[in-house]
Chain A
Amino acid sequence: MINYLYIFPEIIITSALCFIIVLDLFLPSRLKYISYYLIQFSLIFCAYYIYSHFSYLNTNVSQLYDTSIFSNTFKIFILLSLAIIFYYTAVFLRYFNIYQTEYFLITMFGLLGMMIMISSQNLILLYLGIELLSLSLYSVIAFNKNSLFSSEAAVKYYILGAISSGFLLFGISLIYGLTGSLSFNEIFIHISSLEVLNNMDNVQIIGLLFALIFILISLSFKFGAAPFHMWIPDVYHGSVITTTLLLSTIPKIAVFVILIKLLASVFSGLLLFWTDMTIVLSVLSILIGNIIAISQTNIKRMLAYSTIANIGFILLGLSVGSIIGYKAAMFYTLTYVITTIAAFGLLSQLVYEKKPIENINDLSGLNSSSPFTAFLLMIILLSYIGIPPFIGFHAKLLIIQSLVETNNISLGIFAVLMTVIGSFYYLRVIKVIYFDESKNDLSTTSKLHLTGIYIMGLVLLGLLPDILGQLSQYSISNLFNT
């Protein structure tokens, strides 16, 4: 007997999608805002449903679909972030007259894919979720169809994304052949029964390692960790800034959940091997991200490299290989997403010479034309650097703390040094905003009230870091008890 109540959140999203797609065709263009509000309502309602049925959903014991507290925390987070992203997207698209409801609907398909990814307890479901997400992202990137940059970025992302799903599938096929199952639980039991430490030369273990490497390559591709980061700067640069906002935030959460589920629970028998792999990935990401970002002049490219560096920090937390590290990594992921939504959201509302903002120099003298905007941007950049009262500080502190507590002192020192190098390019933007000559061609697409409230929330989170800390403590300990 299948209990459909457990997948009711997904059913809400799917039925809202099907309904709004048809409804939107019959609406005259002056009433298109109705479908936008319906979309926002379905997102908020779905988040509310999950929140109000938290403990009921946790009783699910299905081997296919997992609706535990851990998954549901991330689902609520994704739904609410997407609602904020949709707000910024709607403002941006209306201002530049490229508004189409399909943009939101295609993104909702991606949301469905992410929800399936987060809940999957089976490799088939995982593959389908990842594909649903990537397919919708390909089309969203190519959305601005008259722009050469957009279509170029879409082609690049398409080819590399397809290669990475090929790698994922190859890894899955090897796992299937070696363990005879695709369910997370059965694979976990099979790997734990192998006693990896006693028989390293076993053919099965070598095969499983091969599969693990393939899957890790594919996931770091989607995550954007170096050396698989080549697509990130190009795609971020080429797509519309609100698409960049979408790309750089919620897919990272979904991939993070998959990584933690696969590495920390399914492949926990191979912990010895994957910790080394993640250390290599994270060190390379932090180095490449922070150093190449210094030479960038385009602000989207600069933030793309800063994304790579931040991903490196998340992987550094994962590489600790114990609960304290996972908690730090989860805290860092949530912080990164909240800060990035603020950063790209604010930038998407700035207009330079009637075009969206592109170069760092476009921002020069922002302080003299609109001091409030400059102040908000400064808060975000300081939070990225990790200056104490802001939330970014606590995130970096937790990661470094977990490294030191597990005796990875050298990695901790490396992280601190790279943070110092990384602060250069953020501080340069602050210098451009406050000390360069004003150009007076800057304006905003809308009043920044909502952004202001959001950033005040960011500051509050920094003053009360326990909110996010307890959240990550709660959900990570839930993942490992059940």
Chain B
Amino acid sequence: MIPMSHYLILSSILFSISLAGIFLNRKNIIIMLMSLELMFLSINFNFIIFGNYLSDLTGQIFVFFILAVVAAESAIGLAIIVVLFRNKQGINVQDIARLKG
């Protein structure tokens, strides 16, 4: 039997990796989207563990809501990136710096 703290540490590590992936990444927006996806998966992991530990179904139900919403969110994100690509002919993170002041 693996203690619950191990699971929680794993999900926190995944969360931190995804945050680092967003803030350290200087090249591509697609990598940012991948990191966001990882962030939501780590949160799902958290919910499943807590739901299992409390023997309560709510946590697992919430996971389905999150999965659905995150899928919609990445669809919109990809659409916005397509629009940006049309206007700019590239999706480099460094180039997104026209708005300043």
Q: Which A residues have a C-beta under 8 Å from some C-beta of B?
A: 124, 127-128, 131, 135, 138-139, 142, 145-149, 151-156, 158-159, 162-163, 165-166, 169-170, 172-174, 176-177, 180-182, 233-234, 237-238, 296-298, 301
Which residues does chain A contribute within 8 Å of B59, judged by CB atoms?
173, 176
For the complex formed, measure the closest distance between the CB of B65 and the CB atoms of chain A, giving whole angstroms: 6
For the complex formed, measure the closest distance between the CB of B7 and the CB atoms of chain A, giving whole angstroms: 11
Q: Is the interface of A mostly helix, strand, loop or mixed?
A: helix
Task: Say yes or no: is B20 at the interface (Cβ < 8 Å to chain A).
Answer: no
Q: Is the interface of B mostly helix, strand, loop or mixed?
A: helix
User: A135 touches which one: B62, B72, B96, B99 (CB < 8 A)?
Assistant: B72
**A169–B43 touching, CB < 8 Å:** yes
**A238–B99 touching, CB < 8 Å:** yes
Q: List 12 A-B contacts (CB under 8 A).
A: A124-B62, A127-B66, A127-B69, A145-B86, A148-B87, A148-B88, A151-B84, A155-B84, A162-B73, A163-B39, A177-B49, A181-B58
**B81–A155 touching, CB < 8 Å:** yes
**A182–B58 touching, CB < 8 Å:** yes
Give A323 to B16 CA distance when docked, in angstroms: 38
Give A145 to B86 CA distance when docked, in angstroms: 9
- Given A142-B80, A145-B83, is A152 in contact with B101 using a C-beta cutoff of 8 Å? no
Which residues does chain A contribute within 8 Å of B54, judged by CB atoms?
177, 180
For the complex formed, measure the closest distance between the CB of B80 and the CB atoms of chain A, giving whole angstroms: 5
**A166–B43 touching, CB < 8 Å:** yes
Give A258 to B56 CA distance when docked, in angstroms: 26
**B58–A176 touching, CB < 8 Å:** yes
Closest to B45 in A: A173
Q: Which B residues have a C-beta under 8 Å from some C-beta of A?
A: 15, 18-19, 22, 29, 32, 36, 39-40, 43, 46-47, 49-51, 53-54, 56, 58-59, 61-62, 65-66, 69, 72-73, 76-77, 79-81, 83-84, 86-88, 96, 98-99, 101
- Given A149-B99, A162-B77, A237-B99, is A173 in contact with B22 using a C-beta cutoff of 8 Å? no
Give A234 to B100 CA distance when docked, in angstroms: 7
**B77–A153 touching, CB < 8 Å:** no
Known: A154-B84, A163-B19. 20 other contacts (CB 8 A): A138-B76, A145-B83, A145-B86, A151-B84, A152-B84, A152-B99, A154-B83, A158-B76, A158-B77, A165-B73, A166-B15, A172-B62, A173-B46, A174-B46, A176-B47, A176-B51, A176-B62, A182-B58, A182-B62, A234-B99
Closest to B101 in A: A301
**B98–A149 touching, CB < 8 Å:** yes
Which residues does chain A contribute within 8 Å of B98, judged by CB atoms?
148-149, 152
How many residue pairs between the two chains, A and B, have CB atoms under 8 Å in the bound complex? Answer: 114
Give A301 to B87 CA distance when docked, in angstroms: 23
**B101–A169 touching, CB < 8 Å:** no
Give A57 to B53 CA distance when docked, in angstroms: 38
**B40–A298 touching, CB < 8 Å:** no
Interface centre among A154, A162, A163 (most CB of B within 10 A): A162
**B73–A166 touching, CB < 8 Å:** no
Q: Considering the complex of A and B, which 9 residue pairs feature the smallest CB-CB distances, nearest first?
A: A177-B50, A173-B46, A151-B84, A234-B99, A166-B39, A148-B87, A169-B43, A151-B83, A154-B80
Give A163 to B101 CA distance when docked, in angstroms: 23
**A237–B76 touching, CB < 8 Å:** no
Give A234 to B97 CA distance when docked, in angstroms: 10
**A166–B46 touching, CB < 8 Å:** no
User: A151 touches which one: B50, B51, B66, B80 (CB < 8 A)?
Assistant: B80
**B87–A151 touching, CB < 8 Å:** yes
User: B76 touches which one: A135, A147, A181, A238 (CB < 8 A)?
Assistant: A135
Give A82 to B22 CA distance when docked, in angstroms: 34
Give A169 to B22 CA distance when docked, in angstroms: 17
Which residues does chain B contribute within 8 Å of A156, judged by CB atoms?
96, 99
**A158–B99 touching, CB < 8 Å:** no
Closest to A125 in B: B65
Which residues does chain B contribute within 8 Å of A297, judged by CB atoms?
101
Give A138 to B36 CA distance when docked, in angstroms: 16
Give A173 to B41 CA distance when docked, in angstroms: 12
